[in-house]
A = this chain, B = another copy of it.
Amino acid sequence: MKSTNKRAVVLLSGGMDSTTCLAIATSEGYDCYSMAFDYGQRHAIELEKAGLQARAFGVRRHMVIGVELSKIGGSALTTEIAVPKEPPAGDIPVTYVPARNTVFLSLGLAWAETLGARDIFIGANQVDYSGYPDCRDEFISAYQRMANLATRMGMRGESISIRTPLLNLDKAAIIRRGLELGVNYINTHTCYDPTPGGLACGLCPSCRLRLAGFAAAGCKDPVAYA
């Protein structure tokens, strides 16, 4: 049942999780406003995929926001630090980008307030990325509480929700849900360290999680690997 005038901001990186998250928001009847970030990531090819998915799901508007996180550094994804080719072991991996979800949610919050959207969707997942502090339930709850104090909407009692439909799903469950909702995963990008031509490496932690997810879901990953 399609409701009307229900706006949501959806953070859309062009990866599997955020695309599935967009599919879920769309299926719930939201008018979706998708937002991608050009932050100096070495895998900027994901922005092309975000644009394709925004079109595929008929969002009201897709916005790419520039934010110079690469100046701040501190991560293998935005600097010359090498992306590891082994599965992560203990502690927080070098691919963690300091405060990235906090920054992205904050830009999503700014747009939500401008649009009068009360829901912000983010494809955070604490099952397969448990090393990242900003993918945990307790972070999301604290963020939502802060967001309601930060904004005019919150002051007026129009409460804002940070929606995380993937938070407790594993990769296989995410893929199955996405396929049910018509996601074409060939137009998603996951690899942290693609070839200059944009092919996924198949070896970085992010590729490994993706491939294991497709295997567990019992289907073949449609993207090409180097």
Q: Which residues on A are within 8 Å of B, measured CB to CB?
A: 63, 65-69, 71-74, 92, 96-103, 105-107, 109-111, 113-114, 133-134, 136, 138-139, 142-143, 145-147, 149-152, 154-155
Contacts and interface: CB of A to CB of B under 8 A. Distances in A.
A98 B112 CA distance: 9
5 contacts: A72-B107, A74-B114, A98-B111, A99-B150, A139-B150
How many copies of this chain does the complex contain?
Answer: 2
Max count, chain B CB within 10 A of own CB: residue among A100, A105, A133: A133
A138 B146 CA distance: 9
A63 B111 CA distance: 25
Given A99-B151, A103-B107, A150-B143, A113 B74 contact: yes
Contacts of A114: 72-74, 98
A155 B142 contact: no
Contacts of A97: 110
A68 B69 contact: no
Given A97-B110, A103-B109, 9 more contacts: A66-B66, A67-B67, A98-B151, A99-B107, A99-B151, A102-B110, A102-B147, A103-B106, A133-B155
Given A67-B67, A139-B146, A149-B136, A103 B96 contact: no
Given A106-B106, A142-B142, A72 B111 contact: yes
A44 to B, nearest CB: 16
A134 B107 contact: no
Contact of A149 (B142, B151, B152): B142
A68 B96 CA distance: 23
A135 B146 CA distance: 12
A74 B68 CA distance: 22
A76 to B, nearest CB: 13
